Amino acid sequence: MAAKRKRGALAAGKAKRARSAPSAGEAVAEGGPRERSVPPQEYSIPPPVSQGKWKNKERVLIFSSRGINFRTRHLMQDLRTLMPHSKADTKMDRKDQLFVINEVCEMKNCNKCIFFEAKKKQDLYMWLSNTPQGPSAKFLVQNIHTLAELKMTGNCLRGSRPLLSFDPIFDREPHYALLKELFIQIFSTPQYHPKSQPFVDHVFTFTVTDERIWFRNYQIIEEDASLVEIGPRFVLNLIKIFQGSFGGPTLYENPHYQSPNMHRRLLRLSVAAKFREKQQVKEVQKIKKKGTKVLVEEDPTEVVFETPAEEKPVEIQLVKPESKPIVKDKKKLRKIQRKKQKKLFRTEG
């Protein structure tokens, strides 16, 4: 039988060979003739990217329903590029129930889910869920801007881990505290993830303003540690928080939420009210014009400044005036006038 080789035997053999070959510096120090420089037999192997063990195996499934527009599709692709621990799936049919998503996450080996639901080809809803136990939250997504827009000038490393920055109100209110924990578990990249990079060069910010959550993504510039917005950006209007995954008892309902249908209805009613006001003003003006005008009494002081006109003597014509000939041609009319003038000059002469 072949003798068992020890674990360090191969490394020791290589070390002996390396020691037997003298380096170029030693040859010069010994004083021997230097014909050509021999390169040192040393190789530097870079350390692995993830030196630790990948323990937090969070996987997020990001997909949508059918009927989304191009802006939602770009937003979904941007989130997939920013989150290396995410997975994709085909679009779900709108006739299917939302409970089917739990089975899809189980098949994809995902324990978190971001689902975009489109309605009426103009309203976009986002579900954030911890599958399969829950909780889950439903949001209305507004004011979407993607990575491809020209206004976003920043650029960060693909697959790098982000910092999560939250508004102080997330620690005061209980429903915001629950959402903060959900955001941390979904958007934070797990440490030592195989597809992630060991760098932190961008920040995810969650700010609460006007009863809405504003999501922004900033790059950290190394020179002066300033922030430059990368994108994407969007606003989340909270609707409800459920105890289960995509359903179950309601833990919190936003009293300030107004559905897009109600918002559009109020806009139509306001436009109709303005039109009615204009019609009523026109009718009032017509009634005023048709009404009898009130006669203003004459002021007796106005007669003081009136001066009587001079009376002209009355002339009585005893002879019938001559009828003028009707001539359509102007040249003939001028000739007739000249003949009359000649007759007058002859009679006077």
User: Looking at residue 170, what is its pLDDT?
Assistant: 94
Residue 134 CB coordination number (10 Å) = 19
User: Residue 66 and residue 118: Cα distance in Å, rounded?
Assistant: 7
Q: What is the pLDDT of residues 310-340, one digit of tens each?
A: 888 888 888 887 777 665 677 777 888 888 8
The pLDDT value given to residue 19? 45
Alpha helix (H) residue ranges in the chain: 9-20, 24-30, 70-82, 100-107, 174-187, 260-290, 330-348
Q: To the nearest whole number, what is the mean pLDDT of the chain?
A: 82
Tell me: pLDDT of 297 over 80. no
pLDDT tens digits along 140-172? 999 999 888 867 777 888 888 899 999 999 999
Q: State both tokens at 55.
A: 């323990």
- Shortest CA distance to 61 belongs to which of 118, 16, 103? 103
What is the largest distance, in Å, between two alpha-carbon atoms of the chain? 170
With CA atoms as reference, report the closest residue to 145 among 75, 218, 69: 75
* pLDDT score of 68 more than 50: yes
> Residues 175, 215: contact at Cβ < 8 Å?
no
d(CA 86, CA 195): 10
Residue 179 in tokens: 């959402």
How many other β-carbons are positioned within 10 Å of the β-carbon of residue 175? 15
Q: How confident is the model at residue 23 (pLDDT cuts 50, 70, 90)?
A: very low
Neighbouring residues of 82: CB distance < 8 A, sequence distance ≥ 6: 162, 217
Which two tokens mark 317?
A: 């014509």
Which residue ranges make up each domain of the chain?
A: 60-262
Question: What is the rounded CA–CA span in Å between residue 171 and residue 51?
Answer: 34
| One-letter amino acid for residue 63 of the chain | F
Mean pLDDT of 44-72: 80
Q: What is the dihedral of CA 155, 160, 161, 163, to 10 degrees?
A: -20
> What does the DSSP 8-state code read for residue 74?
H
DSSP 8-state assignment for residue 111 = S
Residue with token string 């209805």: 265
Residue 211: name the closest of 183, 175, 246 by CA: 175
Is beta strand 227-229 parallel, antiparallel or unpaired with respect to 212-220? Answer: antiparallel
Q: Is the pLDDT of residue 229 over 80?
A: yes
CA gap 236, 214 in Å, rounded: 6
CATH 2.10.109.10 is the classification of domain 60-262: no
**Cα dihedral value 15, 20, 22, 26, nearest 10:** 90
Q: What pTM does this model have?
A: 0.65
The highest-confidence range among 6-15, 78-87, 217-226, by mean pLDDT, is: 78-87
Please give the helix or strand (H or E) that residue 243 lies within, else none: strand 233-244
User: Residue 135: is the preceding peptide bond cis (ω within 30°)?
Assistant: yes
Quick one: which H or E segment has residue 60?
A: strand 60-64
- Residue 198: Cβ-neighbour burial (10 angstroms; 0-12, 13-18, 19+): middle
pLDDT at 349: 63
Give me the pLDDT at residue 240, please.
95
